[in-house]
Chains A and B, each alone.
Chain A
């Protein structure tokens, strides 16, 4: 494992913890989106471009949109 892998993984861990701590759902979703994009980068680093493209489109695209849509119909704070 290289330094790039390590840094990306560290970022993932920090994002995951932040999602657990924050009270604001919108910021949780934004952090989750960042998490997904980092995940896509990591997959690119692991030589799986197919998964990276799919994760970028589905994970950080559609899932985030769905979460935003649900929050817009409910409420923002926990």
Chain B
């Protein structure tokens, strides 16, 4: 895995991949896409990085504890936004009924809670996919914190 061409091309590609993933997440409610696809694209860019620069390089990897915190926080944020609906006097996971501003259709920040939910899904999916890959691929199961 020390091929120079692979490394250079990877370095060139990763920013674009991540930008594309972000685009898919943020415009998921106005064009095809959404949290799952975007999160996975971001995760694939990180997996590409891991593959090109070696899986055992400690400095380059998303630290397990960071991944763990993002995962749980993604899910907790989803629940929290849902509970926001209850606090505002409507049902769990309410959007318009709870009075979230819907904005102008077509903008990035439109659709009330939908953008927030999509972003939390995207974060969660990205960190989950990278964790799954790293854990299945790495040779020796070492203890995480």
Pairing of A with B = yes
A54 CB, nearest partner CB in chain B, Å: 4
CB <8 Å contact, A58 and B40: yes
CB <8 Å contact, A49 and B40: no
B19 CB, nearest partner CB in chain A, Å: 15
Given A54-B34, A62-B129, check contact A73 B44 (CB 8 Å). Answer: no
Inter-chain CA distance A61–B130, complex, in Å, is 12
CB <8 Å contact, B33 and A62: no
CB <8 Å contact, A65 and B40: no
B132 within 8 A of A: yes
- Pair count A-B, CB < 8 A: 46
List, in ascending order, chain A residues with CB within 8 A of B37's CB: 50, 53-54, 56-58
CB <8 Å contact, B34 and A66: no
CB-based nearest B residue for A70? B136
- What is A's interface to B at a CB cutoff of 8 Å? 49-50, 52-54, 56-58, 61-62, 65-66, 69-70, 72-73
Inter-chain CA distance A5–B127, complex, in Å, is 35
- Interface size on B, as a range, is 10 to 19
Apart from A54-B36, A61-B44, A66-B133, 9 more pairs, CB < 8 Å: A50-B33, A50-B34, A56-B37, A57-B37, A58-B37, A62-B47, A62-B132, A69-B137, A73-B137
- Can you list 9 pairs linking A and B with CB atoms under 8 Å apart? A53-B37, A54-B36, A57-B41, A57-B44, A58-B36, A58-B40, A61-B40, A62-B43, A65-B44
Given A57-B37, A57-B44, check contact A52 B32 (CB 8 Å). Answer: yes
List, in ascending order, chain A residues with CB within 8 A of B129's CB: 62
Inter-chain CA distance A49–B28, complex, in Å, is 11
A48 CB, nearest partner CB in chain B, Å: 9
B6 CB, nearest partner CB in chain A, Å: 16
Inter-chain CA distance A72–B51, complex, in Å, is 13
